[in-house]
C-alpha cells in the first residue's frame, strides 16, 4: 500500500552529531536524501529500498533517528516545488532543496 504524497524528515545522528541529512519519503516508499555537508561537497542520494535501506547503511548501530516534520505536507496531486539553484538551495526561500515549505 502506498502513502498519499511525500513526507519530509531529518536524519539525526545522536548523541552529538545532530542533523546529517534532510530527506523525503515518496509515495512509493523510495527515499531521497540530501546530506548536510558544508560547501560544495554536499550530495543527494536515492534509496529504492526506502528508510529500511538507509538505516541499514547509515544507522550507526541505532545512533541515527528519523525525525518526521510535523507541519503540513504537500498534497500528492499537483505537488509543486520551486527549482533548486546550482548550490542545491531553493530558488524561492534559500533553504536546502527540496524545502517543501514553498507553495505556488
Domain boundaries, the chain: 7-68
Q: What Rg value do the Cα atoms of the chain yield, rounded?
A: 14
- Round to whole Å and give the CA distance between 62 and 31: 19
φ/ψ (deg, to 5) at 12? -115, 125
Mean pLDDT of successive 10-residue stretches along the chain, which has 104 residues: 77 85 91 78 87 92 88 52 69 73 60
The pLDDT score that the predictor gives to residue 60 is 87
Q: What residues are paired with 64 via a beta bridge? A: 13
Rounded to whole angstroms, what are the CA distances from 74 to 98, 102, 103?
12, 10, 9
pTM: 0.64
> Can you give the pLDDT at residue 77?
42
Give pLDDT, residue 71. 64
Amino acid at each position: 500500500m502506498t502513502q498519499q504524497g511525500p513526507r519530509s524528515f531529518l536524519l539525526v545522528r545522536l548523541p552529538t552529531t545532530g542533523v546529517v541529512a534532510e530527506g523525503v519519503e515518496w509515495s512509493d516508499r523510495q527515499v531521497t536524501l540530501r546530506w548536510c555537508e558544508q560547501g560544495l561537497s554536499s550530495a543527494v542520494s536515492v534509496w529504492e529500498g526506502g528508510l529500511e535501506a538507509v538505516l541499514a547503511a547509515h544507522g550507526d548501530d541505532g545512533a541515527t533517528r528519523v525525525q518526521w516534520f510535523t507541519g503540513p505536507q504537500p498534497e500528492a496531486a499537483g505537488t509543486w516545488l520551486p527549482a533548486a539553484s546550482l548550490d542545491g538551495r531553493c530558488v524561492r526561500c534559500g533553504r536546502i532543496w527540496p524545502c517543501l515549505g514553498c507553495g505556488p
